Structure 1
Amino acid sequence: MVTRAHDSESADFVIVGGGSAGCVLADRLSANGLYRVVLIEAGGAGRHPSFHIPVGYVWNRTHPRGNWLYRTDPQPGTRFRQISWPRGKVLGGSSAINGLLYIRGQAEDYDDWRALGNPGWGWSDLLPYFIRAEDQQRGADPFHGIGGPLAVSDPSLRHPLSAALIDAAEQAGLPRTDDFNGSRADGAGYFQQTVRHGRRYSTAVAYLRRARRRKNLRIITDAHVTALSFEGRRVVGLRFLRQGHEEEIRAGREVILSAGAIGSPQILQLSGIGPAEILSGHGIAIRSNLRGVGANLQDHYIVDLKYRVRHAVTVNQQSRWPRLGWEIARYLFGGRGLLSASAAQVNLVAASGIDGLRPDIQFHYMPATLDPRSNELERQPGITLGPCQLRPESRGSITIASPDPLRPPSIRPNYLDAERDRATLVRALGLGRAIAAQPALAPFLVDETSPGSGIVSDDDLLEFARESGRTLYHPAGTCKMGRGAEAVVDARLRVHGIGGLRVVDASIMPILVSGNTNAPVIAIAERAADLILADASAA
């Protein structure tokens, strides 16, 4: 293989991964014009229309044009199934293929981070970055901002069954909530979404669109990073594959890994940073025996309750001709309707009681049902109510499966390993059924199709969860921020014991947030940019 230096040869900052965090960093670090920044993305530029139409996630979750298409190792807790783990491989990363839901999590999540020895990462520290990033359709208030890069909007599509579900949740004891990102994070209400005028606001749209014309920013796509380059214990650049060649680029100040909870630990391990027994087993020279690299993997595991309905047209019918033709017209001429929809319409957040009064269950609701065999929309009208446990105690791992950088790593999420996870999810399924049994939904529901009325006992519900659950696409924690044996980065996101190297993405979360992860990752990157610039100016 031919090795050549990239024609730009060097930059001040080299960012690996043009996803939810990487695009933010590329914009913020290049904004003052003082530093040369290079952003390296393994995927393409994301010009296909499916990356910009909100409902494009339906196609891109299984299509290789912008998706790593990872699969987990078979795990005993999920009956040895290989579970699909879509992750973005395109500018914008997973924010270009996700369900567009804007949720920050709970204030306690970030206060827990700070309590674990991470000063500057409490809720009061992060809130200004959420506000700075945001262009909130509803306007500014103490929790929200306007004028930021990221468009946050109310859904244009509100289905009658969604309104009935919120009524049913209220009848079951949940308060109505019109803002899950304000003073309280529990209750029943509509998700906000990262959409404006019918267009998806990935970080590539929100941040790179304004940054890419700067002369001090270079974006390199279709470039697969293979390893970091060192001088002693300092990272001074990296190598990557592009168009059949291995190229090199040097970083005068820092390399910043923003390749996500899977990609960042994989690159570290391939470069000799990680558990010694894993690296030596693959013949990789050990530069730093950081045992936490790839450990502490957390994810939200969702299990779907499905119901057949009547007296309503659901997405199952709207997605077929001739109704689909009407929906296409609505989108083309007004940016509204089915094609502008996020992956879930209604958010329900409640407390199981196992974790006291703190909410630990989230439901994603959609007026649609998928055939579990084909993963395609069913023909008969239906709704899906999917609960997950917000703060799983189970921990998994990411480890390289080979020294070959093109081979996917081994992903072991270890779902439902912890007893509390199992108990909470069983209670969540019971709460979902209780909501479905409320009077507000009685005119619409015909029967429960999954798991079905024959599944009653807690043991049977747990078995159903093991056999049918899936990822909610929120992997995190594999380059843990903090102190101690499993910590990988410090509170300034610098890799312990290695100079010139940081990690900025969901992998640094010591504990998974209680909600969807895109908004928190953007806030992490906003704060990280300030830390990086402050350190650069002080050097």
Structure 2
Amino acid sequence: MAFSLVLTEASYKLRHQPSRFANATTVTKMGKISTAPSRSSYDYVIIGSGSAGSVLAGRLSEEGKNRVLLLEAGPSDQHIHIRMPAALPLPLANDRFNWFYNSEPEPHLNNRIILEARGRVLGGSSSINGMNWVRGSPWDYDNWSAMGLEGWSYKEVLPYFRRAETSDKGSSAYRGGKGPMQIETCKADSPLYRAFIKAGEQAGYAYIEDHNAYRQEGIHITQRNVGHGIRWSSSQAYIHAQPARANLDVVIKAKVLKIEFEGKRAVRVRARIDGKHFSIGVDKEVLLAAGAINSPQLLLLSGIGDAEDLRKLSIPVVQDLPGVGRGLKDHVAAPVQYRATKPVSVVGKLTRFGKLKLGLQWLIAKKGLGATNFFEVGGFLRTNKKHPVPNVQLEFVPLIGEMQHGSVALENGFQYFFSLMRPKSEGRVWLASADPDVAPKFVFNFLEHEEDRKEAIEAVRAIRNIVAQSAWNDVRGEEVTPGKNVQSDEDILAFLRKEAGTNYHPCCSCRMGTDSMSVVDTHAKVHGIENLRVIDASIMPAIVSGNLNAPVIMMAEKLSDDILGKKLPNEVADYYLPAAE
């Protein structure tokens, strides 16, 4: 999300542009998207329509037996800024579609406040993210299994990754060919992209044909969830593109206030929908899929969390679960930027005329620069051979941006944007108030752990080594950030404290497990509570090696089967692990 990070910080004006679709009722193949439920009770009430929620709505309603309600706090996703891949910075910078959460001052980042983008629109964060399709390393899921989480090994999750997608690489032991998510391989036809791949090989990193198959480690051409030239979000895949279903209600502008209980059993959901209050009955289960910030907030507001903290806010305790909101993780990230000596970056195509051409070509044919997300090449590296799998992700952007007088000045250049895959530092989410309209508080504690600081410094040095290769000789200009004078570990760390931030991948704040600090079991059921599951990135027991959209969609696919009493057969596929060193 490197391109978006700069533009989001600078685009305050865009937040207040009127959205001509914001108040619309949208008719899709699925049926009517409305601002009121059609029934007083449902079998399943799903809170949040993001990467998990839309999947759950689609799968639980597809047989026509269950009455399903999907509640989304934000507006419809049928907006050109969401549908056009190249427009990705615009919904990210618009508070109609983004919660625009701010962290508490980060103590190890010079007490800076970090903006955390979270989708507040149908499709959730899958409607405003960078569209990179990354499953993570197969090792991640075998690691979950090794942590004692039965049912979450690679052979058990692979069938659900495959079921979710239609990959342009075709159906195989690793890839799916008939799923709702449209996945395409980027074209990567720019000289900058070719230099990125060649330089990586010259630095000793293998070129990997498919980083979502046998081997993740190395340099690759990126895959993205774009289909037919448009963003293929979870809502596009599992709601808009599906046949009409009378048993599914999709309700937007629905702010959930609280889950209500009879004893330890979830029975109702209280919501404010388009300004009106509703109390919605639940006959089978509440499925909380509001994400790693909002899911712990709603549990706490509903009386599930650390009993002492709840009593301080005069919230009646339903279940004492001290792990709610604890263990928050994210991929800490930072850019390494270079000017280009030749006009080879995408900046030259983003003039006023260039943008007009881009927009017209996309509107007419859904092709051209408007159909790209700009993240067309990337990599997964081990900065130290002690790591069993890559510990750093590289995302590449064919331009650089600099804040000047409150706006972004785009420059001819390129940047490597790195993220730490398994940071040891962790934060938490907690309530600022018992009022559901008051945003929750959170802190990531980025770079708190010494190992994270060491890995981030190693990542900067690894990138510099790649950019020093001869493949970059024709276009490599001066290093803009950190800058050529930043050489010592101490100076690099000072740069990181000033510039590092989030890659918008929060997770692990309602962790799956069996210990006293876990929140849900391996079926995503909240400990000690009936008829309530949490299904989103918050329940990850450990952060995975890559972007979170694909893993969360997989989790929702798997858990929707679990809810329905089904299970796909295990699928065994080998994967690459480096020799022990």
Give the TM-score, by structure 2 length. 0.89
Q: Does 2:213 match 1:182?
A: yes
Equivalent residues in 2 for 1:351-500, closer than 5 Å: 351-353=382-384, 355-372=386-403, 377-500=408-531
**What are the superposed Cα offsets for residues 325-361 of structure 1, whole Å, 9 maximum, x if unpaired?**
3323432343233221225221111101164352111
Aligned length: 532
**What are the superposed Cα offsets for residues 422-479 of structure 1, whole Å, 9 maximum, x if unpaired?**
1001000000011111100011011101111010001110110111012101000011
CA distance in 1, matches of 2:516, 2:385: 29
CA distance in 2, matches of 1:498, 1:228: 12
Identical aligned residues as a percent? 38
Indicate if the aligned counterparts of 1:157 and 1:337 stay in contact, CA closer than 8 A. no
Deviation of the 1:382 alpha carbon:
1.0
Indicate if the aligned counterparts of 2:182 and 2:226 stay in contact, CA closer than 8 A. yes
* 58 and 154 in structure 1: CA distance in 2 versus 1, 3 angstrom threshold: same
Correspondence for 1:350 = 381
Q: Does 2:328 match 1:286?
A: no
* One-letter code aligned to 2:84: I
Correspondence for 1:313 = 344
Indicate if the aligned counterparts of 1:50 and 1:60 stay in contact, CA closer than 8 A. yes
Correspondence for 2:57 = 26
Query: Does the residue aligned with 1:102 lie in a helix, a strand or coil?
Result: coil
Indicate if the aligned counterparts of 2:264 and 2:528 stay in contact, CA closer than 8 A. yes
Give the TM-score, by structure 1 length. 0.96
CA distance in 1, matches of 2:354, 2:55: 39
CA distance in 2, matches of 1:425, 1:157: 27
Deviation of the 1:244 alpha carbon:
2.5
Equivalent position to 1:197, from 225, 228, 241:
228
Q: Does 2:237 match 1:206?
A: yes
* One-letter code aligned to 1:352: T
Equivalent position to 1:334, from 365, 376, 379:
365
Correspondence for 2:290 = 259
* One-letter code aligned to 2:285: E
CA distance in 1, matches of 2:405, 2:187: 29
Equivalent residues in 2 for 1:212-223, closer than 5 Å: 213-223=244-254
Correspondence for 2:22 = none
Correspondence for 1:296 = 327
Deviation of the 1:147 alpha carbon:
1.5
CA distance in 1, matches of 2:566, 2:355: 53
CA distance in 1, matches of 2:423, 2:561: 31
Deviation of the 1:298 alpha carbon:
0.4
Deviation of the 1:60 alpha carbon:
1.2
Deviation of the 1:255 alpha carbon:
0.2
Query: Does the residue aligned with 1:448 lie in a helix, a strand or coil?
Result: strand
Equivalent position to 2:540, from 496, 502, 509:
509
Indicate if the aligned counterparts of 1:101 and 1:343 stay in contact, CA closer than 8 A. no
Indicate if the aligned counterparts of 2:37 and 2:69 stay in contact, CA closer than 8 A. no
* One-letter code aligned to 2:497: R
Indicate if the aligned counterparts of 2:188 and 2:377 stay in contact, CA closer than 8 A. no
* One-letter code aligned to 1:523: M
Flag structure 1 segments of 5+ consecutive residues without an equivalent.
none
* 357 and 364 in structure 1: CA distance in 2 versus 1, 3 angstrom threshold: same
**What are the superposed Cα offsets for residues 314-335 of structure 1, whole Å, 9 maximum, x if unpaired?**
2222211233233234323432
CA distance in 2, matches of 1:228, 1:333: 46
CA distance in 1, matches of 2:430, 2:538: 13
Greater CA drift, 327-336 or 372-381: 372-381
Query: Does the residue aligned with 1:253 lie in a helix, a strand or coil?
Result: strand
Greater CA drift, 272-281 or 479-488: 272-281
Correspondence for 2:572 = none
Query: Does the residue aligned with 2:399 lie in a helix, a strand or coil?
Result: coil
CA distance in 2, matches of 1:268, 1:355: 39
Query: Does the residue aligned with 1:302 lie in a helix, a strand or coil?
Result: strand
